[in-house]
Structure 1
């Protein structure tokens, strides 16, 4: 698994001008799932997302608090393109987990993240 993390003041995902999901301050995470990922990989990413020190503390010291320390929100977006390789000038996604299997894996990941944190603070697409 790969997780591309961005700190945000707010974030939303829209499709055809319809808001699918949104959060206030926290992190927006693009999740890439490879065809070799397992539950152990899922557990590792959940643990890292909740413990990585990305935010200032109360005295404005940099990189001292995690998203869970600050009680912020998490928006996850499934992104198979994180496992892109190139064949000449064309992208190749053979390392990404296939559609239906990755959908189930991603849903299980979201459930694990919600169980480890606060379900109302975790949003997905």
Structure 2
């Protein structure tokens, strides 16, 4: 699993002109399930996201999590994060989870976040979505599941 996280002052996702999710201050999370990801990794991944310290404290240091600041979460599925751009001009997506697995993991991830955090909005898996945001900072971070981080380090 991997996620591209943007600290935002506001964000929204629209499908066919209808707003299906929006937040004020918080995190916009583009989520991607990769081949080989398992449900067992979801709890740890959600916990890492919720505890990620990327909001400023009184001294202006990034020492507060989205939970600490009672911020919102907007989670959008984005299989293109798994793109392989190492060769050629057309990205390959063989590293992304199969659509059924991707949907299941995305929906389970959103539910885990909702069960342990207040405001959680979401896009719709596989839909053509229009995402708007005001990046705060700007702060943009990558988050990978622990298993993927270990594999990258090896």
Q: Which has the higher contact order (CA 8 A, sep 6+)?
A: 2
Aligned partners of 1:84 and 1:92 also within 8 Å:
yes
**Structure 2 residue runs without a partner (length 5+):** 124-154
Q: Pick the structure with more strand per residue.
A: 2
Larger deviation: 92-101 or 25-34? 92-101
Aligned partners of 1:3 and 1:45 also within 8 Å:
no
Matched, 1:122 2:120: yes
Matched, 1:49 2:49: yes
Determine the structure 2 residue equivalent to 1:95. 95
* Distance in 2 (alpha carbons) for counterparts of 1:79 and 1:97: 11
* Distance in 2 (alpha carbons) for counterparts of 1:70 and 1:80: 29
Normalising by structure 2, report the TM-score: 0.74
**Structure 1 residue runs without a partner (length 5+):** none
Q: CA deviation at 1:116?
A: 2.0
Q: SS where residue 56 of structure 2 aligns?
A: coil
Normalising by structure 1, report the TM-score: 0.90
Determine the structure 1 residue equivalent to 2:69. 70
**Any idea what the Cα deviations from partners look like across 1:36-82, whole Å, max 9, x if unmatched?**
1112321222011110111112x243101100011110000000001
**Runs of 4+ residues over 6 Å off in structure 1:** none
Q: CA deviation at 1:12?
A: 0.4
1:17-36 → structure 2 map (5 Å cutoff): 17-36=17-36
Determine the structure 1 residue equivalent to 2:141. none
* Distance in 2 (alpha carbons) for counterparts of 1:55 and 1:40: 28
* Distance in 1 (alpha carbons) for counterparts of 2:89 and 2:15: 28
Q: SS where residue 13 of structure 1 aligns?
A: strand
Q: SS where residue 91 of structure 1 aligns?
A: coil
Aligned CA-pair RMSD: 1.3
